[in-house]
Amino acid sequence: MYNIAKVAREKVLQCFNALFDGICKLCASPDSDLHSAALILDNILKDIVTETDGFDLDNFLPFLQHQLTSPPRHMKGLVIGWVSVLDSVPDFNMLDHVPMLMPGLFRLLRDPEPGATTAAGGGMGLDYDELRAHTLQVLTSFLRQMCVVPIKNYSNMVHTLVGMGTDDSRLVRFSTLSWLLAFTAMAKHRVVNHFPEILRVMLVCMVRSEMPVELLLTQEQTPGHSHRQLFDVNDDTEWPVGLGPEEERGRALRLNAALIRLAETAPADTPLPHELLLEVLISDVGITCTEAAPRVAALQWVMLLQRRQPLSLHTLMHDLLPPLLRTIGDDVEHVALLSVEVLAFAIGDSQDKFTRVLKELTRTFLEDAQLLERRGAFVVRRLCALRGDGEAIFLCIARELGDILRQYEAVSNGEKQGEQAQCGSRDSLADLETISSFTRILSLLMVTAPELEALRTQVKSALHRPQREGAVAGKSSADAAELFDALYHCWCCNTMATITLCLLSREYYLAFAIISRVGGRDPSVGFLSQGEKLLELLEAPVFLQVRLDLLRCCNAHLHSRQLLKALYGLLMLLTSSPSCQRLSARLKAVATSRIEVVIQKGAQHDFDDYTAISPARMGALLSTFDRVQASMGFDTVV
């Protein structure tokens, strides 16, 4: 056959596929002489093909593709050799056929199966590493040609690549990332519709390479670079066979940077496939992934999508919110931080979103007491800082907690009247201790967080007649009173939080009246701990006016005398401590400097001009406290 081909030359091309099939069969023979003869025939056929203009490439490539897609082990070197030869012929436009050959080429990059022999070339003297190195050379040649003469249709190529991006072989995944990075640089916004598929590949590679979250957080993206500068045709089209996880991580990060840059700069008439992207981002390779780095990357992408286009209420509540509420308790702090940022951004364009998301957030904390203690203060404070509207956030949460407390009040009232079946059961409601803990956290935030300065100003002005005559910080007096009422009803489930609210609002008569109601029950450990914290906070700047009001006691000011009684009441309730001793020293200083004055006739009444609370209103507030406390049914003071 060799002699015939040598004489006939291009005429043998008429039966070329049959000749090639025969060579493949001879390579399968265990006879070394047949191997050698087959290789000699193979070489002369290559010479004929490269020297002849009439070779039918379109007829041969499907046959070659079949051999390439699932070749026996002994034929791999033979097949890749032919792909390389055809690519070297200038008259053959192999770029148009790359989508057909690519699946088989990428499969040749896979690691050898366990127990396989090292020989893979079918008599061509190639082991597995040499075969993969030869395959990489072919792929490199194709990729470089595409960088010079871009192809017209990237869709088929992308679909083929994303199918290989989840392969078990690191070399296959790295090669896929490199090709996708090149396409992103060349096609730019023409690959926008393929973002979901490419993004999934990138996230999978982050998972497979066990990317540390710190690497993603410290990723440097130099501003001002073009898309093509993210991919260098000389440096990024060659890579060794032996790759470690570091190389895969670096290539995944670069692809992520390129995709983000494309998404940020996409024209307005080039919409991103939001729904498909969100489907990927909330999947098990995104926000719900077990690895931290993909979760961070997915949350960053969700923020980017929201900036481009606000999410619909349905998408937010049913698709995105459930996984977000799970990630706020993530052990990785940056994941939790990004989750809160996504929430804050999502609720910014609609009051309906704002209310419903905060209600779900409140319910989530009430259902998980450990999450509340671990992340409650962090999440609420961060939301207030990002939204810049702590009053609205506290008001919404307080209303939700207040609605739950009213259900308890209804159940308690129904039990007294023998109508529990109509009012419901305590078992179906949130745990009261968790509600009390939530109130404690909110109360501490209210008096300590710098982000809540406007909230404190509102509370301080809510009940004071001199301040109610005008608006404070752009809010009406009616808004301040509404805020106080909502907070007070919610705070009533935690006695020390209620006392703190009364002192902050400088309603000392109400504070003393509540303290007077505590003596009938033993204080709980939590109550004593909160009381100790309150005494420490009395030394803080937030209670400066309260401390100055003690001086007014020297002039027999009725309002401030109630403060004196309230603070003495706290000393009686709490155990001795350094904080108690400091407060006692202050009260003694006031007592020793007290000036005897004669109170003018008619001035002796329970309410002076400094408070806007009438006796009827005071009675209603105390009744609310008694009702909430009774509905809780605790034996100790909480």
Domain end (from 149, 182, 197):
149
The residue with greater pLDDT, 280 or 10, is 280
345: which residues sit within 8 A by CB, 6+ positions away?
303, 306, 307, 386
Indicate whether 364 belongs to any domain.
no
Residues 158 and 142 in one domain: no
CA dist 605 → 357, 468, 591 (Å):
47, 22, 22
100 pLDDT above the threshold of 60: yes
Indicate whether 180 belongs to any domain.
yes
* Cβ atoms 121, 183 nearer than 8 A: no
Across the range 524-545, mean pLDDT stands at: 93
Give the number of other CB atoms < 10 A from CB of residue 387.
17
410: which residues sit within 8 A by CB, 6+ positions away?
423, 424
Indicate whether 299 belongs to any domain.
yes
Indicate whether 486 belongs to any domain.
yes
Residues 295 and 211 in one domain: yes
| CB-neighbour burial class of residue 77 (10 A; exposed 0-12, middle 13-18, buried 19+) | buried
226 pLDDT above the threshold of 80: no
Six token digits for residue 617: 């209103």
Crossing angle between the packed helical segments 544-552 and 558-573, to the nearest 10 degrees: 120
Residues 201 and 255 in one domain: yes
Residues 180 and 276 in one domain: yes
Residues 112 and 156 in one domain: no
Residues 184 and 99 in one domain: no
Domain end (from 309, 338, 372):
309
Indicate whether 283 belongs to any domain.
yes
φ and ψ at residue 179, rounded to 5 degrees? -65, -40
Show the DSSP H helices in 388-524 as ranges: 390-416, 420-423, 432-448, 453-461, 465-468, 477-491, 495-504, 508-516
- The percentage of the chain sitting over the pLDDT mark of 70, rounded to a whole number, equals 85
Compute the distance between CA of residue 287 and CA of residue 335 in angstroms, rounded to an integer.
9
Q: Name residue 119's beta-bridge partners.
A: 127
Q: How many domains does the chain have?
A: 3
Residues 414 and 481 in one domain: yes
φ and ψ at residue 122, rounded to 5 degrees? 60, 55
Domain end (from 274, 309, 344):
309
* Phi-psi domain of 210 (left: phi exceeds 0; alpha: psi -120 through 50; beta: other): left
71 pLDDT above the threshold of 70: no
Angle at the Cα of 184 from the Cα atoms of 299 and 292, rounded to 5 degrees: 25
pLDDT value at position 320?
A: 96
* Phi-psi domain of 556 (left: phi exceeds 0; alpha: psi -120 through 50; beta: other): left
Residues 493 and 400 in one domain: yes
Of 253, 256, 264, residue with least CA distance to 304: 264
Indicate whether 478 belongs to any domain.
yes
What would the pLDDT profile of 37-53 be if each residue is shown by its tens digit?
888 888 888 888 888 88
Indicate whether 357 belongs to any domain.
no
Across the range 227-235, mean pLDDT stands at: 65
3-state secondary structure of 464: strand
Residue bearing tokens 């494309």: 262
What would the pLDDT profile of 139-154 be if each residue is shown by its tens digit?
999 998 888 887 777 8
Domain of residue 396: give its range.
Answer: 388-550+598-637
337: which residues sit within 8 A by CB, 6+ positions away?
382
Of 428, 343, 330, 431, residue with least CA distance to 371: 330
Residues 289 and 438 in one domain: no
Residues 446 and 520 in one domain: yes
* Cβ atoms 263, 272 nearer than 8 A: yes
3-state secondary structure of 475: strand
221: which residues sit within 8 A by CB, 6+ positions away?
257, 260, 261
Six token digits for residue 58: 């379109």
Amino acid at position 48, single letter: I
pLDDT value at position 602?
A: 42
Residues 88 and 19 in one domain: yes
Compute the distance between CA of residue 175 and CA of residue 343 in angstroms, rounded to an integer.
36
Of 87, 240, 272, residue with least CA distance to 170: 240
Compute the distance between CA of residue 422 and CA of residue 414 in angstroms, rounded to an integer.
7
Across the range 260-273, mean pLDDT stands at: 88
Residues 156 and 124 in one domain: no
Indicate whether 143 belongs to any domain.
yes
CA dist 276 → 75, 200, 282, 323 (Å):
41, 11, 10, 16
530 pLDDT above the threshold of 80: yes
3-state secondary structure of 478: helix
347 pLDDT above the threshold of 70: yes
